[in-house]
Amino acid sequence: MFKTRITEMLGIKYPIIEGGMMTLGRAELAGAVSAAGGLGTISANIHESKEELQEEIRRVRSITDKPFAVTISMFPMEMPSELTGDYLDAVIEEKVAVVETSGRSPENFIGRLQENGIKVFHKVPAGRPAEQYAVKAEKIGADAVVIAGFECGGHPGVNKVPSLIFIRKAARAVSIPVIAAGGFADAEGFVAALSLGAEAVTMGTRFVLTNECIAHPKVKEHLLKMHESDTMLAQQSIRNTVRVVVNAAAERALGMETREARFDELISVIGGGKGKKGWLEGDMDAGLMACGAVIGLVDRVLPAAEVIEEIVTGAKEIVNRLNSIMR
């Protein structure tokens, strides 16, 4: 049994969370993760109306009656801000258990979500000092803070602080539960996160390589062959750093940034629709594709339930091994 403030807060079996994933955060995967005892997450930003998001929420409920989350990403260029109100109405009407927010502070609507019984987990990159935004998340009343270390797929922020340091600093600084994200894919990483003071892990990259993830089979094949050094940072010049697969689009974006290309030129390469084509049609050079360095530790596509099972079983064996070392 696993008992942390996160498992207790949500009534879930395991402190393992699927992070919000643009394009890929659909009901099939979220439902499978939640049904297996973790916390699955669907992405709000994929949907173009309140009704469309509600339909997706109901699709998760047709798979499982367990709690799950909806992520609302507020990164520049990813936020159709006119839809925020619709997303909020949808999660409130549907009584979703958790909203994960990222990219900007949810301070304008956190109270409204919580009054409606929804827990808010805010995901933060490292500031200066690293724990700066975690402390702010606690101040605005977040129920938990998700720490996005430098290794993570998606947005690690501009300050480049690796998970090992950032999680520890955040856990020392705040009293709300800390959730570790960035570089976790297996039992060893999971135990390390708990030992740093985290009360759950959020994984994105590991869950891409599951049977239930809707990524094109060619993408999964490509990702399986990748090493930890096959991701890179893009969009640093516009302070919207993102860790992505090294591919033609990412190299082109970096080239443009190096020669200080105009934003409208850059957007033609980094625009979200192109990455979507990559994920769903298997064209690995079409656009930017978020991916964490932990891809180097992932060598099999498994059902989401097996990913979780391997982590929890492995964690117990690791703790026994550690106990035998420290007698």
Ligand X SMILES: Cc1cc2nc3c(=O)[nH]c(=O)nc-3n(C[C@H](O)[C@H](O)[C@H](O)COP(=O)(O)O)c2cc1C
Residues making contact with ligand X (CB under 6 A) = 19-22, 24, 43, 71, 73, 102, 123, 148, 151-154, 181-184, 202-206, 208, 290-292, 294
Nearest approach, Cβ of 157 to ligand X (angstroms)? Answer: 11
Sign of CA dihedral 315, 144, 17, 11: positive
The residue among 151 and 199 lying less far from ligand X, judged by its C-beta, is 151
The residue among 77 and 322 lying less far from ligand X, judged by its C-beta, is 77
The residue among 65 and 154 lying less far from ligand X, judged by its C-beta, is 154
Nearest approach, Cβ of 20 to ligand X (angstroms)? Answer: 4
Nearest approach, Cβ of 295 to ligand X (angstroms)? Answer: 8
Please report, for residues 61, 176, 219, the alpha-carbon distance to residue 171 in angstroms, rounded to integers and kept in the order given: 33, 9, 35
Q: What does the alpha-carbon distance between residue 126 and residue 170 come to, in Å, rounded to a whole number?
A: 9
The residue among 180 and 266 lying less far from ligand X, judged by its C-beta, is 180
The residue among 73 and 324 lying less far from ligand X, judged by its C-beta, is 73
| Cβ contact 208:220 at 8 Å | yes
Residues in the chain: 327
Q: What does the alpha-carbon distance between residue 12 and residue 132 come to, in Å, rounded to a whole number?
A: 29
The residue among 37 and 157 lying less far from ligand X, judged by its C-beta, is 157
Nearest approach, Cβ of 72 to ligand X (angstroms)? Answer: 9
Nearest approach, Cβ of 105 to ligand X (angstroms)? Answer: 13
Alpha helix (H) residue ranges in 22-129: 27-35, 50-63, 84-93, 110-115
Nearest approach, Cβ of 279 to ligand X (angstroms)? Answer: 7
Instruction: Provide the total of helices (H) and of strands (E) in the chain, helices listed first.
Output: 14, 10
Nearest approach, Cβ of 2 to ligand X (angstroms)? Answer: 19
The residue among 12 and 290 lying less far from ligand X, judged by its C-beta, is 290
The residue among 31 and 183 lying less far from ligand X, judged by its C-beta, is 183
| Cβ contact 79:103 at 8 Å | yes
Nearest approach, Cβ of 148 to ligand X (angstroms)? Answer: 5
Token pair 């891809």: residue: 295
The residue among 37 and 40 lying less far from ligand X, judged by its C-beta, is 40
SS3 at position 228: helix
In which element (H, E) is residue 138 found? helix 132-139
Q: What does the alpha-carbon distance between residue 245 and residue 174 come to, in Å, rounded to a whole number?
A: 33
Burial of 319 (0-12, 13-18, 19+ CB in 10 A): middle
**Smallest Cα–Cα separation from 295: which of 102, 154, 130, 122?**
154
Provide the 8-state DSSP code for 229: G
Nearest approach, Cβ of 162 to ligand X (angstroms)? Answer: 11
| Cβ contact 53:90 at 8 Å | yes
The residue number whose beta carbon is nearest to ligand X equals: 204
| Strand 16-18, strand 98-102: pairing | unpaired
